Chains A and B, each alone.
Chain A
């Protein structure tokens, strides 16, 4: 077969690919843009109808042959289509790339249709949405079989079969159930794959007869019916046999296959097995396969503007044109205050030299690192952060000296000095807890402050960084957990061959009766300690990051006296028993500390909680309190169900309450309403394209104004506490309006007014901007509502 030849083939027509193709067309080079979907820009195409698309980050200038500004989805797609025609871009839709082989100058690109295309260079811009999983049965591609639901309100009075018992399937079913007959098909026996909030809603809808379900059911085929009442016959195998359901439409929500495997099959390497890991690229976006370039979301840049800029730049780089990246000006500004640094490359070089931790990074990664970070030039004596702050950024010392003042378990103070080339703040970053010490500039300093998200991304994308960070931080963990006065030599000895271990919720660190294998320093997460009492497992204690467990058996030389389990995703450093024993033998001060904790533990075992409180602990753990930093609880023995907590919350937050008092579970008169737990490691932050979710110094997890309304956080929060809401012009009532009973009350915002406005994610911010603190608690007339953090958790229970 004759195959066509192009200089540049661009795979994927999202913002990144479109921009690259347009630039190539402008230059008049032979090019081809390949798109798997039947239309361009598939990801944007599937945004909700009428979705306002935001142009974040606002400070970044756009440089592309295509235009882009904040606007409605339809308008943006229309503009792009026009510009594509104007630039005479050569594109092909419905062309899925399945394989890329060859090398720079001679790539062969295979399409699903079997065709093959030759190219000198390939630009990969396939995003991270992945390939939607199809039903893989006859009839999967019939016209009324769809794999997306963009606008539930577009369908009414239909019989719709929804396939897939995950969150997407359940959410779609719920959205459609109001005006359609919905049958939800689940392969599994139970709906255990979806979030609790969705599960509860689904069960309610099923109980009310609004949704029918079939479980343990496999799709067999879909047939088109002769024109008549129904379009399709959906045939499935149920536990009772074959069943045919005549319907108008089948919506299958089976998730997407992440593109990583495909990309790896092209020869591209990822530095890490973590799902957030991105391929390592050169400054020119070139991957480890020479001639194969990667831009956009797949390269780790999750916003439209970034993808478009890179599409433009990558073409220039391929053509060998030196272009200043669009973010150059931003970077220059970052370094503006640093003495003796006059250009961005000098700044980057300084970073590379003065921070060994960052040495394994490519220049591109360093640039991105700097874009997210801020350079802080501090005079001597300035406080950088305080002990017990909730900040979680990471600091690198470029110049100067920083003193860290910590306080050990027993209240003794210790001060460490850190020189240029060191870093600090990693403990708060990794544990998600309060800062364990105060950092002060002890000389004039130049620091780089990097936010949590960028640092985590770095750890997952550059294997070397993680290793280097661990070398130093392990010792710091041991020192802060065990004994702040331990000499460096002993620390080295202790952490030699120490293992870092991870546990999922409910995993056992060790069992009652086990032989003692060592001392467990909890670096992240939290654990419960429990023991069998009269055939029942009774929880004795809840222990959080920054502490250790396992000293009882070491000190007493007996088998483990209790079982320790992870209460939230937990990471520990395990110190070998023999080494710990050696060091204990040589250091009386440490010996005394461990002994005193041992005695305290023995004593508190005497006051072990009753099995009822133990049940309560288990209940609360199940509700996510184990990973919370501050959670709203309601004592239902005093709650008069007046909902003043909700009303006042709405009043304080533009008319939308961020808590749902009635939803949620109750045990022993303690009710956990649906409201944010301010998790140590907020799941909601995981996948926020504009990085709009932050934690403030006081611990509140909040969403800032640059939220683009993508809904990822809503999907990621396991507790269902995030809502998408329109920001309305809400006015509080004045005293006179309250007295006379006039003016609009909270939560009475008009549907009509809010119909077409952009929705943004809203959640509890613990009233961080309100004098007096959380309104829900203050508004409760009987004092039933209270907030609790894990630090005082055990006090409450015992």
Chain B
């Protein structure tokens, strides 16, 4: 690990958001313990419940806003246009350069929060909801829209934790697995080895040819979502062929057969390794991505349920 590899999401700015949310949670718990929950009634109705509820709602909106920030990090169009207009002419730029540099320095801190900062806050604030919202419920659950929102929230958070885990660990594995190659490179090499194996096998008995052909046509890289995520193919024909070659080698040992069999074996072995690498690449990328397809839509569902929850509260007041 060298210094170029800076702080991770969790350590960002020396645990700034960890500290902030810890404080928030500590405050909430203390308040909850000091101001005893009202017996029987929904806890959300007390003033502390209201405070926690409003706070959690704001946090959720903030969490959802992350998705928008991510797509608009390059700045609002209006402001940028203005800026370009003011710096268009070169002469003017020369005159303005001094003041301009000053404004640039000044504004950097204000609107320049990086997406990493957003995400670091997102992760900690998201996790803190478990505490804040649980306290808000006063641990009253039932078969209603309120509890539905709560469950949805837990699902979003769980998927979030999964995502955080893969984000922290998988990137390194991807680099190790792929080195300088791209997936296309691997597929190309695999195709070449297939071609080679098939030509080499031509002079050999049908049994061998069938094996090689099967390995060529039925080996699947990628495939169904499940196959992608698992990084495996059940009864992978290539692996099967490699194993079989050992036995067949004993069977076909006349004339120049042993040499061809050896070549074939080595080609298939190389292919097996490449196939494994390609599947690993697909697996890592799929796992890195798949959870977002739950996390974001569930987040939207949560927002809907939350709205229903709030509306219904005001209705049944």
- Chain A interface (Cβ < 8 Å from any Cβ of B): 204, 207-208, 383, 386, 612-613, 616, 633, 635-641, 644, 647-649, 651-652, 662, 665-666, 668-671, 696-698, 704, 731-735, 738-739, 767, 769-773, 775, 777-784, 786, 788, 795-798
Contact = CB atoms under 8 A, between A and B. Distances in A.
A797 B5 CA distance: 10
Nearest to B2: A613
7 contacts: A652-B75, A735-B68, A739-B68, A771-B108, A775-B75, A779-B70, A782-B8
Contacts of B41: none
Contact of B75 (A670, A704, A772, A784): A772
A698 B87 CA distance: 14
A268 to B, nearest CB: 36
Given A383-B98, A635-B5, A786-B4, 4 more contacts: A636-B175, A769-B84, A771-B75, A782-B9
A641 B68 CA distance: 19
B6 A786 contact: yes
B172 interface: yes
Interface string B1-13: 0111111110010
Contact of B171 (A640, A788, A797): A640
Contacts of A640: 167, 170-171, 288
A777 B115 CA distance: 8
Contact of B74 (A637, A648, A784): A648
A735 B73 CA distance: 11
7 pairs of A and B residues whose beta carbons are closest in the complex: A772-B112, A652-B74, A783-B116, A732-B77, A637-B172, A636-B175, A779-B73
A798 B3 CA distance: 7
A652 B80 CA distance: 9
Nearest to A671: B175
A669 B7 CA distance: 15
Contact of A635 (B6, B9, B76, B90): B6
B36 interface: no
Instruction: Give the interface centre of B79, B113, B114 by most chain A CB atoms within 10 Å.
Output: B114
A231 B76 CA distance: 59
A638 B108 contact: no
A779 B119 CA distance: 11
B83 A770 contact: yes
A670 B180 contact: no
B254 interface: no
B87 A769 contact: yes
Nearest to B176: A669
Given A383-B98, A636-B174, A638-B8, A779 B3 contact: no
Interface of B: 2-9, 12, 68, 70-77, 79-80, 83-84, 87, 90, 97-98, 101, 104, 107-108, 111-116, 118-119, 167, 170-172, 174-175, 179-180, 182, 184-185, 188, 285, 288
A649 B75 CA distance: 11
A133 to B, nearest CB: 35
A636 B171 contact: yes
B188 A771 contact: no
A330 to B, nearest CB: 14
A739 B71 CA distance: 10
B200 to A, nearest CB: 19
Contacts of A613: 2
Given A666-B175, A704-B90, A780 B116 contact: yes
Contacts of B172: 636-637, 669
Contacts of B74: 648-649, 651-652, 732, 767, 770, 775, 779
Contacts of B76: 732
A467 to B, nearest CB: 31
A697 B174 contact: no
B148 to A, nearest CB: 23
A784 B171 contact: yes
B175 A698 contact: no
B5 A738 contact: no
A171 B56 CA distance: 58
A651 B255 CA distance: 66
B9 A770 contact: no
Contacts of B6: 635, 783, 786
B114 A738 contact: no
Nearest to B79: A771
A637 B116 CA distance: 15
B71 A738 contact: yes
B2 A668 contact: yes
Given A637-B172, A640-B167, A208 B75 contact: no
B2 A778 contact: no
A637 B73 contact: no
